[in-house]
């Protein structure tokens, strides 16, 4: 599928402003869509929307199908009559630029349980709730029982649960579903509520001519409903122990590689039903977003297989994957799904052939382009139209932070970038954005941190490192220069993103 010339911003909903302890799907999400529209943007890119687990990473979720309850808006629950204003106010003690996930999880769960207590008497009569549960029965029952059982076992990994439910033996599913009935219904309520709030937000985005780019991690988490419910599809043995795990070899980000710890797929098993699990996964994501970005696309050609007991990723090896068969199956059953291939890392000719055979746009990261060790394919004069260009990604420093560090290191990268851009003023981040807009790349998506010209304190993630504030950054409306929408909208017009004439919208900044 060919993408038209367009521009957008990368910002996960957890990073949205607001009066509560984490960005959510309430008022500020709608204001952000207004900001996108007023800025001439037609794309909003986000991270995976799943319920976060290990390390609070959206790439390590308890389910490949469920939504993150932490994104549920308390304000909208108040509007629905499920919370009082006083209930919602218990969440207003926070740092407006950082999410403290530990505190958020505890405090927000208390509030969400209060909302469920109000909703509980309506469960049997609520047709929308019943329809949602029926429509999503393929994954919702397993996920809800998984989370209920996990909470019953004080949050420990499923392999350490009581054996019957851990390994789904002797009628345990029916017994535990009845035993934990109230908690199972609570989990279903959370998914129903998340979906309702997200679908309303998505509808508003479409009214403003904004498409949403969603993200699909190639692998699923070990401690997830997916692994627990379908062990035969993943590389765990009969005792639930990992036989092999995912990661990447030593690269730009880590000299020892990245040991992700996710189970790998038993591709032979998945081929038996023409990749039904994958087709369900893609279909579910397309209910939430308009365009699918596949993280670590190269793993569909060959993946880095690491022994389950390895301490680093260095001991892995490349193993072939049936990418061509998989994407042919998706196309046969689902049509031309708009897919973006995150083709970064160790990219071979075979990976490029897989990407190009389905006409998937790849990704260009401009921070990687400069200096003696820079990759020339990331220089704008080497771009092709069918690609997506970013200044940096969630795994990079902010552009200002990146160049500030290179100046200290005296690597020559900052000077090389200045010379390439023909720009020698201090605001090189904004010049890099302008260069991305002016390129032949059909799609430009800039991280919000770079739109706001922020330094390293706004970095989203340090690959391979736990803690330290990963995934916790938020912005506030007072950081948004009132001139930003006009500047971005002007660049969209000059560089024809999109080529059609945008509706005239009044430029407005919403302040907290």
Active site residues: 295, 342, 395
Dmax (CA) of the chain: 71
DSSP 8-state code for residue 314: G
* Alpha carbons 70 and 84: distance in angstroms, whole number: 18
Residues with Cβ within 8 Å of 465's Cβ and at least 6 positions away in sequence, in order, are: none
How many CB atoms lie under 10 A from the CB of residue 439?
A: 21
Q: Which two tokens stand for residue 455?
A: 């330094």
Which tokens go with 93? 């003690």
- Cα–Cα distance between 491 and 497 in angstroms, integer? 8
The torsion region of residue 391 among left (phi > 0), alpha (psi -120 to 50) and beta comes to: alpha
**Quick one: DSSP state of residue 117?**
H
With residue 204 as reference, give the H or E element that holds it: helix 181-207
Q: Are 37 and 111 in contact (CB under 8 A)?
A: no
Q: What are the counts of helices (DSSP H) followed by strands (DSSP E) for the chain?
A: 19, 12
Sequential DSSP letters for 99-112: --HHHHHHHHHHHH
Give the closest residue to 459 by CA, choosing from 443, 442, 474, 446: 474
Tell me how far apart the alpha carbons of residues 51 and 94 are, in angstroms, rounded to a whole number.
21
**Residue 440 gets which letter from DSSP?**
S
Side by side, the strands of the sheet bearing 339-341 are 339-341, 291-294, 211-216, 43-45, 6-10, 443-447, 387-390, 362-365
Q: Are 47 and 56 in contact (CB under 8 A)?
A: no
What does the alpha-carbon distance between residue 107 and residue 90 come to, in Å, rounded to a whole number? 8
Structure token digits, residue 275: 């990749």
Give the span between the Cα atoms of 375 and 206, in whole angstroms. 37
Instruction: Tell me phi and psi for residue 316, to 5 degrees.
Output: -80, 180
Q: 135: how many CB neighbours lie within 10 A of its CB? A: 11
DSSP state at residue 126: -
Reported as type and span, the H/E element at residue 212 is: strand 211-216
């Amino acid at each position: 599928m060919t993408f038209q010339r367009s521009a957008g911003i990368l910002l996960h909903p957890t990073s949205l402003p607001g009066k509560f302890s984490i960005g959510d799907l309430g008022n500020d999400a709608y204001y952000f869509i207004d900001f996108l529209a007023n800025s001439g943007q037609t794309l909003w890119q986000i991270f995976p929307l799943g319920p976060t687990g290990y390390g609070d990473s959206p790439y390590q979720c308890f389910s490949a199908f469920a939504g993150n309850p932490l994104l549920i808006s308390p304000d909208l629950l108040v509007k629905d009559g499920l919370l009082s204003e006083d209930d919602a106010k218990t969440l207003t003690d926070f740092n407006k630029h950082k999410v403290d996930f530990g505190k958020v999880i505890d405090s927000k769960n208390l509030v969400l349980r209060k909302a469920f207590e109000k909703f509980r008497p309506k469960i049997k009569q609520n047709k929308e709730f019943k329809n949602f549960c029926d429509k999503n029965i393929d994954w919702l029952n397993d996920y809800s029982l998984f989370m209920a059982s996990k909470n019953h076992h004080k949050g420990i990994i499923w392999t350490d649960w009581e054996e019957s439910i851990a390994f789904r033996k002797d009628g345990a599913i029916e017994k535990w579903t009845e035993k934990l009935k109230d908690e199972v219904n609570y989990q279903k309520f959370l998914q129903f509520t998340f979906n309702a709030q997200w679908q309303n937000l998505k509808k508003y985005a479409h009214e403003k001519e904004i498409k949403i780019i969603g993200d699909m991690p190639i692998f699923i988490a070990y401690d997830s409903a997916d692994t627990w419910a379908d062990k035969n599809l993943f590389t765990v043995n009969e005792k639930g122990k990992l036989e092999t795990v995912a990661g990447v070899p030593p690269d730009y980000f880590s000299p020892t590689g990245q040991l992700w710890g996710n189970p790998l797929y038993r591709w032979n098993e998945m081929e038996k039903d023409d990749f039904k699990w994958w087709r369900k996964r893609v279909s579910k994501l397309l209910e939430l977003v308009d365009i699918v970005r596949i993280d670590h696309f190269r793993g569909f050609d060959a993946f880095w297989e690491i022994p389950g007991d390895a301490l680093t990723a260095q001991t892995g090896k490349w193993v072939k994957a049936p990418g061509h068969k998989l994407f042919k199956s998706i196309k046969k059953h689902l049509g031309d799904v708009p897919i973006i291939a995150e083709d970064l890392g160790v990219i071979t000719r075979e990976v490029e052939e897989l990407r190009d055979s389905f006409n998937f746009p790849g990704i260009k990261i401009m921070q990687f382009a400069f200096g003696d060790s820079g990759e020339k394919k990331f220089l704008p004069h080497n771009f092709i139209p069918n690609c997506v260009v970013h200044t940096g990604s969630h795994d990079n420093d902010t552009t200002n932070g990146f160049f500030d560090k290179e100046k200290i290191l005296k690597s020559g990268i900052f000077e090389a970038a200045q010379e390439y851009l023909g720009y020698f003023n201090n605001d090189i981040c904004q010049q890099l954005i302008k260069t991305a807009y002016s390129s032949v790349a059909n799609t430009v998506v800039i991280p919000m941190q770079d739109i706001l010209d922020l330094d390293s304190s706004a970095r989203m993630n340090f690959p391979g490192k736990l803690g330290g504030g990963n995934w916790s950054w938020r912005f506030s409306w007072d950081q948004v220069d009132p001139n930003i929408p006009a500047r971005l909208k002007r660049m969209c017009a000059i560089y024809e993103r999109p080529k059609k004439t945008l509706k005239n919208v009044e430029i407005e900044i919403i302040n907290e």
